[in-house]
Structure 1
Amino acid sequence: MGACSGKSGGDKQQAMSKEQKQLAVNKFEVGPNIFVNLKQGDITDTYIINKILGEGSYGQVRLVQHKKTGQQRAMKQIQKKKILKEQEDAMFSEVALLKDMDHQNIVKLFELYQDSQNYYLVTEYLNGGELLDKLTKLSTFNERTAAEYMKQVLSALSYCHAQNIIHRDMKPSNIMLASPDPKSPVKVIDFGTAKKQLSGESQTQVIGTPLYIAPEVIDKNYTEKCDIWSCGVILYQILTGKFPFDVKVQSLQQLFNNIKSGKYNFNSKEFTSLSFEAQALIKSMLSLDPKKRPAASEILNDPWIKEKAKEDKISLDVMNDLGKFHNESNMRAAILQLIAGEMMTNEEKDQLNQTFQSMDKNKDGQLSKEELIQAYTQVFNDELKAKHLVDDIFTQIDQNNSGKISYTEFLVASSKQNTILSKTKIDQAFKMFDKDGNGQISKQELQDIMCGVDIDNAQWGQIIAQCDKNGDGIIQYDEFANMLLQTAKK
């Protein structure tokens, strides 16, 4: 079994705790989740703790810097003595959901630590601020800007809903910008109240932020369509500066009555000055009957989004690189996914993101064989040739045999080799594995970073052997680099 300790401690096999086993997978399937589990030890061995970004009743959020790579991240510190058992359960539920999520508009979870006093959640550092704050500071704001941001939010929700996950607390403060850059992507955050539901199952727990809560949530009988309602309120607020219902109330019950009334302010000057398409979309998202609300995937094809938001264009260059990708081992694929997920910049991903989203016709955040065949048929004008190529692509890229290509799998396969495998990125990746800094990677260090996997010693030996060419049981830098730089393109 793999152990998750804060420090490397030789090759002694350590047993996983109950919490670690719950978060781990029991076979080596390549995916971002193999790098996340509950780690024991002193987080300051790995991170330099910097300024406070925010404080709450549970603890603090701080800016931290990875000692080996220099990367800045956000660390949420949760004091064990200040949280109730149900709050602790909610934290582990959030981790379990986030570690498996793979979408460009959802905050990325990197690590989870604990010591005797605290839990520490380490995520990507989003320093662009809240979306609503950004919009209020813009000198010029129009429907095109709103559509571009809402498209990204709905793309994240479409992915979640395809995974049967309801966010349940969509509100402006949970929509962040990755950076201050004007082209910065949006990231949906805070999955602490999110719920994975069985298909067709209704939820009954009243949860969420009152101003954005859906009528059916108040009535304790709801599905993922509650997220659409919340986004309808957000879109109304973004475009008009107001709420669609009266919020000047004396009690929470009065606010809930206003929300459940079905009578919303669609006659104000601010609302009627919007385009017909914007008004129609907001009205549909705020339908009192959840069944009449469009799904997130349907809104992404709505006339307002199609007309106002930037169109995602397929890059022939990206598709050409995708078709040439070749991989020899799942160890190499795992390291490439680590690099793509944690080290590539938003600028390096931009064109890849556009191609991915353009090919993702059903908007579930993954690429099926049918979607790839459709895209390559348009390129070749030859469906048979497209089918043969797509079969080859899936053999090389679909590392977890899910029958679909995930976002990170796509990034790995479609990136230019000199981008994803620059010397800087290879050096950073090696340093992340080489925890004690002695210039080589032991089996224990490999287990420490791939701590989301619960497999036996024999399987770990097989994984190391993919990289350990001289058979000494240790991975040297040259072996590590040579494995990554082996012919990646056919």
Structure 2
Amino acid sequence: MHVQIGEGSFGKVFMGLNERTGELFAIKQISLMDGTQSEAEKLEAEIHVMKSLCHRHIVRYIGTSRGDRNLYIFLEYVPGGSIATMLSRFGVFQEGLIRRFMYQILLGVSYLHNNGIMHCDIKGANVLVTEQGIAKLADFGCSKQLQGMRTQSFEESAHGIRGSVMWMAPEVIKQTRHGRSADVWSAGATMIEMGTAHRPWPAFTNNLAAMFHVATTREPPPPPDGLSAAANDFLARCMCIDPVRAVTRR
């Protein structure tokens, strides 16, 4: 038994009910195109590994199932919605709340990194919040496989990551060697999102223009107005253009 509760770049999201236990859970439905069966198998194997992860600030993976044309991913259900949804409803967060959520986000990021997993798609829409105000990272570790389940043309690739470009580190856009510092950049971009109620680089509405700008810029996106000196310093440490320098600064 399930009802649709959302739709994203890679598929639909449903809320399911376990009719034996009464437990609610989330179901992500991903359409399988021709030639993507091997990618689906890789994603299933990755999720099998991530089922063992357990942390207060990450969404728990439960398992997968596959039909002829769809892959289903079963996840912990978080009823409070995402940070992006909260921002659209309530507007800019005060610095105290930004600090609270950033602390929780980075605890989740640290746990993933310590287990050899990069998130690869940190943004407000992928940080879910419980009704008690506990932030949980969602969709970690799957972005690379999901993007591989599309055709390989540049246009299709750009379409597949259209919702995430503004949060991506320059080295990710340029497809140069990148590591954990890319997640730290995206966490900083999410901090900007919380402080402005807008995505980073709000002046860019064209996805391809935004990709070119992020790949070639020598300055990070502007910080929110009104942050304390400590918050601005923290944000600058997150958003270093040179990833090697970013590692040495932290």
Q: Same fold (TM over 0.5)?
A: yes
Partner of 1:290: 243
Shift of 1:85: 3.1
Query: 1: CA distance between counterparts of 2:48 and 2:190?
Result: 27
Alpha carbons of structure 1 residues 286 and 50: separation in structure 2 relative to 1, 3 Å: same
Could you tell me how far apart the structure 2 residues matched to 1:256 and 1:152 are? Answer: 31
The answer for the alignment partner of 1:103 in structure 2 is: 55
CA 76–136 in structure 1, closer or farther in 2 if over 3 Å, else same? closer
Judged with a 3 Å threshold, the aligned counterparts in structure 2 of structure 1 residues 83 and 75 are, in CA distance, closer, same or farther, namely farther
| 8 Å Cα contact 2:47-2:63 kept in structure 1 | no
User: 5+ unaligned residues in a row in structure 1: which ranges?
Assistant: 1-48, 196-204, 299-490
Superposed displacement of residue 152, structure 1: 1.0
Match of 1:227 among 169, 177, 183: 183
2:232 matches 1:279: yes
Aligned residue for 2:2, secondary structure, equals: strand
TM-score (norm 2): 0.78
Q: Which has the larger radius of gyration?
A: 1
Match of 1:401 in 2: none
Alpha-carbon distance in structure 2 between the residues aligned to 1:62 and 1:251: 28
Name the CA distance, whole Å, in 2 between partners of 1:189 and 1:275: 29
SS in 1 for 2:79: coil
Aligned-partner Cα distance in 1 for 2:38–2:213: 29
Structure number having the greater strand percentage: 2
1:118-172 C-alpha deviation (Å, 9 max, x unpaired): 4432211122111122134348841111111111111111011112211111111
Pairing of 1:217-256 with structure 2 (within 5 A):
217-219=172-174, 220-242=176-198, 245=201, 247-248=203-204, 252-253=208-209, 255-256=211-212
RMSD between superposed Cα atoms in Å: 3.2
Asked whether 1:168 is paired with 2:87, we answer: no
Q: Percent identity?
A: 25
Match for residue 151 of structure 2?
A: none
Judged with a 3 Å threshold, the aligned counterparts in structure 2 of structure 1 residues 247 and 294 are, in CA distance, closer, same or farther, namely farther
Deviation at 1:98, TM superposition (A): 2.1
- Which residue number corresponds to residue 168 of structure 2? 213
**Structure with higher RCO (Cα < 8 A, 6+ apart):** 1
Question: Gapped runs of 5+ residues in structure 2?
Answer: 146-156
Deviates more, 1:234-243 or 1:57-66: 57-66
Provide the residue aligned with 1:54 in structure 2.
6
> Is residue 105 of structure 2 the alignment partner of residue 149 of structure 1?
no
Q: Is the 8 A contact 1:284 1:292 kept in 2?
A: no
Residues 467-478 of structure 1 correspond to what in structure 2 (within 5 A)? Answer: none
- The number of aligned residues is 233
Pair 276,57 (structure 1): closer, same or farther in 2 beyond 3 Å: closer
Give the one of 73, 85, 91 matched to 2:37. 85
Cα distance in structure 2, aligned partners of 1:243 and 1:78: 25
Partner in structure 2 of residue 187 of structure 1? 136
Name the CA distance, whole Å, in 2 between partners of 1:240 and 1:79: 34
The TM-score, its normalising length taken from structure 1, stands at 0.42
For 2:93 and 2:8, how far apart are their aligned partners in 1?
32
CA distance in 1, matches of 2:104, 2:72: 28
1:127 counterpart (76, 79, 85) = 79
